[in-house]
Structure formats: structure tokens, C-alpha cells
Amino acid sequence: MTKKNNTLTWIIVAAVIIVLVLGYIWYSKIPSSIPTNPKPNTIPTENTPVSNENTYNIDISNLAFSPSTLTIKQGETVIWTNSDSLCGGINPCLHTVTSDKQNELSSKQLKTGEVYSHTFNTPGTFDYHCEGHPNMKANIIVE
């Protein structure tokens, strides 16, 4: 191998190392698209009382409200928690809790980990949906 070929080889090796180091630095600064803790540990899922017997949780995940139907008594509170981390590859996955006909429920856009709560003081059936995902439907029955 000639001195000229040896120098060219070392230049190529150095260029590859520089590209790899710069690529690593750039890649390490990209935020992860999946949160490390998308679901808060403070609010249980399903129909479990949260802090007392008059409070219930609805989990928003996998583009659905769970449970989709909840029966409660007048004066009880429901807490919705957005646990969705991805919506069709879009992050953050924003959801709302919005009444179909009445103005009873009207949350802001909830980011992953955010909550919305509402106390139901009037009996009836309250159908609601997510504004950004019209197939996400559920209801609260207040006795």
C-alpha cells in the first residue's frame, strides 16, 4: 500500500467517525415519541372510586372512553384522564370531553396525562364525544 492510499484510508475513517459522532449527538437530542410514564399513578382506571365513594374515573386510551357507559348518582363527580400516548402516529394525542347536545360537558383539549372533572347535579343521560375523534362516544347516566 502506498503512502497516498494510506492517507486516503485514514481520511475516510476519520470522516466516518465524525459522521457517526454527529449523528449520535443529533439523534440523542430528539425527544422520544412515547412518554415514559403516560398514565398518572394517582388516579385508578375503570369504575373505581378515586378519593371517595362519590368520584369515578374514566380512562381515555386507545381512542376510546373506558368505561363507555357509567351510571352514577346525582351529585357525584367523574374524572376523565387522557392516557393516550399516540393517535394514528400523532403525538401528543389530544382529546376532549364534549356533550353531544347539551352544554353539560365541555373540556379543553386534554394532552396525555391531563384530566377533566365534572360534577353531575342533574339527573339524565349525558351523551358525549371527542371533538377531534367523532367515533369516540360514551355516556353518563345520572340517577
Q: Any alpha helices (H) in 34-134, and if so which ranges?
A: none
Biggest distance spanned by C-alpha atoms of the chain: 91
- Could you read off the pLDDT of 26-51 as tens digits, one per residue? 665 554 444 444 444 334 444 443 44
- Asked if 52 and 77 touch (Cβ cutoff 8 Å), the reply is no
**What's the predicted TM-score (pTM) here?**
0.63
The amino acid at residue 21 is V
The model's confidence at residue 6, banded by pLDDT at 50, 70 and 90, is: confident
- Asked if 136 and 65 touch (Cβ cutoff 8 Å), the reply is yes
- Could you read off the pLDDT of 61-104 as tens digits, one per residue? 999 999 999 999 999 999 999 998 877 666 678 999 999 988 89
